[in-house]
Chains A and B, each alone.
Chain A
Amino acid sequence: MHFTHTWIKAGLVALMLGWFSQPSMAELVVVVSAKSPLAALNEHQVADIFLGRTSDFPSGGEAVPIDQAEDSASRAEFYLKTTGKSPAQLKAYWSKLIFTGSGQPPREVASTAEVKKALNAVLNSIGYIDKSELDSSVKVVLLLH
């Protein structure tokens, strides 16, 4: 009995460590061009756009998602908060679509500056950046806690 309890406790501690050791960073914001008419989105709507499940904004008009670099901390945190998926899970998700020829992941750019540039180059683009990098060229449609 005593041994059993010790093992259960050890197991629970291991699970909790697993749970809480997910990366936790600064606040992220989902942004569009300051000139975009878009007002606000919720997490599920943003997740559907970035997972390729919808090609339009809920209010209409084609949505063009822009990803940060594959190994960036912002990208990992963005997907964890909106879709619940880790980078590996996300890669597995896209592998399903890529190897059946039914989809390609969002276009990827190298930096936050590049995200802002992309949003203003194509008005219906949508991206995510660190809150500290907000400026007047973009506007927030969702704050990710």
Chain B
Amino acid sequence: MRKPTYTGSMWRVVAALSATMLGFAPCAQADDVTPSIFTLSGFGTLGVTHSSLGTADFIGTAFEPNGAGHSRNYDFTGDSKLGVQLTGQFTQQLSAVVQVVSQHQYDNSFTPYVQWANLKYAFTPDFSVRVGRIEVPTFLDSDYRDVGYAIPWIRVPAELYNSQPYANSDGADLTYRFHVGEAANTIKLLYGQSSFYVRPNFKAQVHGITAAFDTIEYQAFTARFGVLHANIKFSILPKEPATAYTMALGYDPGPWFVQAELARVTVNQITPGYLAGYVSAGYRINKFTPFISYAQSYSLGHSIVLPNMNFGQKDASCGVRWDFRKNMDLKVQYDHVWLPANSTGMFTDLQPTFRPGSGTNVLSVALDFVF
């Protein structure tokens, strides 16, 4: 039984996180006397996860090679991450953003990568075009899923969010916002290409990503509809069409919130296709926000040519967020995860003793910060 050790790179991450919090947090109060062209911001999470299932690993994002359970009793890799962003506002119309993120990846490293790097030209405040590496906002929280401070939970519901594993696209997008009465309606069109590694030496190329999203915001209501199409090429296999239809609804009047998403995501021949979604609600009591969620992915049973035994997963969770100081929160979350009889779900590092259809109880603690 091999137990991967994480001492080296984990300590580097811990050191980087500590340095960030000690070094940057106190001077986060920007000096507004001389507005600068450039703004430096950042976010990060230090998290630890324990999973009761010893025959496989519970992971936070799609292609981590190991996590909590079999490999590590207490896992720091799944939720810990650090992101740094530099924006430049050159003229009222022209701006640029570069964002670099370090998190646990397919190759078991925390090698930083460029998540976004794009130029934006705003013809008007309501009509803009971007060129470069741009986020693919497939789901409601996709584009800030790594910013723990911006989401109510420790991590976005994997049952939905991991069904679309690439977060950025090299290409262009166009955003147009208009108002109907007091409702703001934002339309986004995106075209580009991307790639991602399933594991070392197994790369997927994503061609011709074409997507349209419509977001309606009216007072405390948010509704969002999206459609995304792309062609994915996995090593020697022919190109296969991938399609996602998504919808999201949210209501957040302040003292409480409720949010739900539903999507149909298919990748021909590669996955059985999923109908996935979640519903989550929380209630704010001063600095505490307790929440409950239920998430599920349901297999559509399409034929597949690759060995893929993820035929769905369910997750009932509860937890609390504590905004204990400015720009920081502490979260505790309990997840009960279980699988349909023939499914391996999203577990990884499956051991010979792993039984499809089993489940686990996961306890996680995370410290989120922004600067």
Chain A residues 53 to 101 lying within 8 A of chain B, measured CB to CB, are: 53-56, 62, 70-71, 80, 83-89, 91-93, 95-96, 98-101
- How far, in whole Å, are A46 and B354 apart by their CA atoms in the complex? 56
Q: For B141, what are the chain A residues with a Cβ–Cβ distance below 8 Å?
A: 96
Point out the residue from A62, A70, A95, A109 that lies within 8 Å of B125, measured CB to CB: A62
Complex contact A85–B254 (CB within 8 A) = yes
- How far, in whole Å, are A110 and B29 apart by their CA atoms in the complex? 11
Q: For A95, what are the chain B residues with a Cβ–Cβ distance below 8 Å?
A: 43, 144, 147, 149-150, 370
A39 CB → nearest B CB, Å: 17
Q: Which of B43, B118, B286, B287 has the most CB of A within 10 A?
A: B286
Complex contact B150–A84 (CB within 8 A) = no
Say yes or no for A107: interface residue by CB 8 A criterion.
yes
Chain B residues 116 to 157 lying within 8 A of chain A, measured CB to CB, are: 116, 118, 120, 124-126, 130, 135, 137, 141, 143-144, 146-147, 149-151
Q: In the complex, how many residues of chain A place their beta carbon closer than 8 angstroms to a beta carbon of chain B?
A: 39
Point out the residue from B85, B137, B253, B327 that lies within 8 Å of A91, measured CB to CB: B327
Complex contact A101–B253 (CB within 8 A) = no
Complex contact A96–B179 (CB within 8 A) = no
Q: For A70, what are the chain B residues with a Cβ–Cβ distance below 8 Å?
A: 29
Contact A91-B39, Cβ < 8 Å, known A84-B255, A99-B83 = no
Say yes or no for A130: interface residue by CB 8 A criterion.
no
User: Per-position contact with A for B276-288: 1 when CB-CB < 8 Å, else 0?
Assistant: 0000000011110
Say yes or no for B87: interface residue by CB 8 A criterion.
yes
With both beta carbons as reference points, the residue of chain A lying nearest to B41 in the complex is identified as A98
Complex contact A99–B220 (CB within 8 A) = no
Say yes or no for B107: interface residue by CB 8 A criterion.
no
Say yes or no for B35: interface residue by CB 8 A criterion.
yes
Point out the residue from B32, B85, B182, B370 that lies within 8 Å of A44, measured CB to CB: B182
- How far, in whole Å, are A55 and B285 apart by their CA atoms in the complex? 32
Complex contact A91–B286 (CB within 8 A) = no
Complex contact B32–A108 (CB within 8 A) = yes
A36 CB → nearest B CB, Å: 19
Say yes or no for B57: interface residue by CB 8 A criterion.
no
Say yes or no for B323: interface residue by CB 8 A criterion.
yes
Q: For A19, what are the chain B residues with a Cβ–Cβ distance below 8 Å?
A: 255
Contact A86-B284, Cβ < 8 Å, known A55-B125, A99-B43, A101-B116 = yes
Complex contact A84–B220 (CB within 8 A) = yes
B258 CB → nearest A CB, Å: 14
Contact A110-B149, Cβ < 8 Å, known A14-B285, A21-B286 = no
Q: For B149, what are the chain A residues with a Cβ–Cβ distance below 8 Å?
A: 91-92, 95
Say yes or no for B329: interface residue by CB 8 A criterion.
yes
Chain B residues 21 to 44 lying within 8 A of chain A, measured CB to CB, are: 29-30, 32, 35, 39, 41, 43
User: Per-position contact with B for A99-138: 1 when CB-CB < 8 Å, else 0?
Assistant: 1111010011110000000000000000000000000000
Complex contact A92–B286 (CB within 8 A) = no
Chain B residues 77 to 108 lying within 8 A of chain A, measured CB to CB, are: 83, 85, 87, 89, 95, 97, 99
Q: For B214, what are the chain A residues with a Cβ–Cβ distance below 8 Å?
A: none
Contact A99-B287, Cβ < 8 Å, known A48-B182, A109-B32 = no
Contact A100-B144, Cβ < 8 Å, known A15-B285, A110-B32 = yes
Q: For A18, what are the chain B residues with a Cβ–Cβ distance below 8 Å?
A: 285-286
With both beta carbons as reference points, the residue of chain B lying nearest to A43 in the complex is identified as B219
Complex contact A96–B144 (CB within 8 A) = yes
- How far, in whole Å, are A32 and B193 apart by their CA atoms in the complex? 46
Complex contact A98–B85 (CB within 8 A) = yes
Complex contact A99–B41 (CB within 8 A) = yes
With both beta carbons as reference points, the residue of chain B lying nearest to A97 in the complex is identified as B144
Say yes or no for B184: interface residue by CB 8 A criterion.
yes
Contact A54-B370, Cβ < 8 Å, known A88-B323, A101-B118 = no
Complex contact A44–B219 (CB within 8 A) = yes
Q: For B95, what are the chain A residues with a Cβ–Cβ distance below 8 Å?
A: 101
Q: For A54, what are the chain B residues with a Cβ–Cβ distance below 8 Å?
A: 179, 184
- Contacts A86-B323, A99-B99, A100-B116 aside, 11 further interface pairs with beta carbons under 8 A come to A18-B285, A53-B184, A55-B124, A70-B29, A86-B284, A91-B149, A92-B151, A96-B143, A100-B144, A101-B130, A108-B30
A sample of 26 cross-chain residue pairs with beta-carbon separation below 8 angstroms, ordered by A number, consists of A18-B286, A55-B126, A56-B125, A70-B29, A80-B254, A84-B254, A86-B254, A86-B284, A86-B323, A89-B284, A92-B149, A92-B150, A93-B150, A95-B144, A95-B149, A95-B370, A98-B85, A99-B41, A100-B144, A101-B97, A102-B143, A102-B175, A104-B39, A104-B89, A107-B32, A107-B35
A-B pairs, 6 with minimum CB distance: A84-B254, A55-B125, A101-B97, A88-B323, A18-B285, A95-B150
